[in-house]
Amino acid sequence: MGTGVLLYCFDTPEVKYHKLAERCVRHIKKYLKLDITVVTNMDTFKRFSHMGMINYKLVENKTGNVRPYRGKMIAWHNIERALAFEHSPYDTTILMDCDYFVFSDNLLELCHTEFDMLIHDKIHDLSCERVIAGKDESTLPLVWATVTLFRKTEKARTIFSMIKHVQKYYGHYRNLYRIKYQNYRNDYAFAIALHQLHLGEFIPTPMAMLGIDIDVIDYDGSGIKYRHGKQVNFIHGQDVHIMDKEWCDG
């Protein structure tokens, strides 16, 4: 079924992920012009505004995981992502977080290359203050599952089988790799699977990110303005992972 984008979106009591997904979809349509499938649950599905022709896959998601966000622990429904290989109807899938916003067609270029799985192993902190990637958080070469490209190949199937295995025995692998965080993170599950299998390739350029303490203050469809402390800056035409979860609420 060609190339498409797969998004996972589950609202939590604290975060309206559907608002982020609505904006994310608008960007994908504008810049990538690809088919989109959103995996969601019934509660979140009911909150979506009409977004034109996109596919939905309704699932009953697991709950119980949490994440730190601006000084509190909040719910995080991120377990289903391990099933992306089964959920995706596409031959080539761009699996993307709904808080990743494309402002260019750069990802299309990656789709035209040969790979089983392609993922970021480096990030660029747009605040230039290295507030995101902490040191000594594990003994593992970390990857970022925010944007993952994969094909329906046997090797990709094997990677996802390994991710599911890691998820099931996450406590064991967390100890093995000395992972500092107690919650389940897909970044680590993907990293462990790739490390165990010696598979996957990496996107040569880092993923641009705005950290959790950076507020998005303005947006015009081709770029965003953000504030970090007293400093205001902007990016334009650059794909970005935004960790501020409230900027689409207004």
Partner 1 sequence: MDIGDLKKNSDLNFEVAKAKKNALERLRSRQLMAYNERLFRADANTINLVSTLKQHSQDFYVLDANDNPCHVTDPEEFLNRLIERNQESLNTYHQLHKDLANKRAR
Tell me which residues touch partner 1 (CB under 8 A). 104, 106, 109-114, 124, 126-128, 201-206, 208, 231, 233, 235, 237-239
The contacts of residue 93 (CB under 8 Å, 6+ apart) are 3, 4, 5, 6, 84, 149, 150, 151, 152
CB of 68 to partner 1, least distance (A): 26
CB of 237 to partner 1, least distance (A): 7
Helices marked H in 83-181: 84-87, 106-111, 154-168, 170-176
CB of 164 to partner 1, least distance (A): 26
Closest CA to 59 of 75, 74, 44, 69: 44
Cβ proximity to partner 1: between 82 and 147 the closer is 147
Pairing of strands 35-40, 100-101: unpaired
Cβ proximity to partner 1: between 75 and 110 the closer is 110
CB of 212 to partner 1, least distance (A): 18
Cβ proximity to partner 1: between 20 and 203 the closer is 203
CB of 129 to partner 1, least distance (A): 9
Residue 172 dihedral angles phi and psi, to the nearest 5°? -65, -50
> DSSP string of 60-83?
------EEEETTEEEE---SGGGG
Cβ proximity to partner 1: between 66 and 235 the closer is 235
Cβ proximity to partner 1: between 26 and 228 the closer is 228
Cβ proximity to partner 1: between 202 and 219 the closer is 202
> DSSP string of 4-35?
EEEEEE---SS--HHHHHHHHHHHIIIII--E
The amino acid occupying position 215 is D
3-state SS, residue 232: strand
CB of 209 to partner 1, least distance (A): 11
